[in-house]
Amino acid sequence: MRVYVLVFRGAPALTRAFDRVMESRHVASCLIEPESGRIRFLAPPRAADALVEQIYAEGGLTWCSQHDVNLQGDAVEARPLMASPAR
């Protein structure tokens, strides 16, 4: 699974992205932080990558980081994969 942290410029972009994330059948968990303009979600890597590309194309995304997460039993192992400002 992959955790994404997305940061947006403005409430309209945040709202559009949140709607898109919530509509995805691949998203296992999602958290919106309106005060900081941030969305965090968990999904399989291929589906997450495609979803973020769609969100980026709609505009307003200013930062994106992703972390692969290994969920095995009670242990959770996370390692940073990428962090970069959106183009």
Domains of the chain by start residue, with CATH = 2-85 (3.30.70.100)
* Spatial separation of the C-alpha atoms in residues 55 and 79, rounded to whole Å: 23
- Span 42-72, pLDDT tens digits: 999 999 999 999 999 999 999 999 999 887 7
- Span 18-48, pLDDT tens digits: 999 999 999 999 999 999 999 999 999 999 9
Phi and psi dihedrals of 86, rounded to 5?
A: -65, 150
Q: What does the angle CA 83 – CA 35 – CA 38 come to, to the nearest 5 degrees?
A: 25
Phi and psi dihedrals of 5, rounded to 5?
A: -120, 120
- Give the burial class of 15: count Cβ atoms within 10 A of its Cβ; 0-12 exposed, 13-18 middle, 19 or more buried: middle
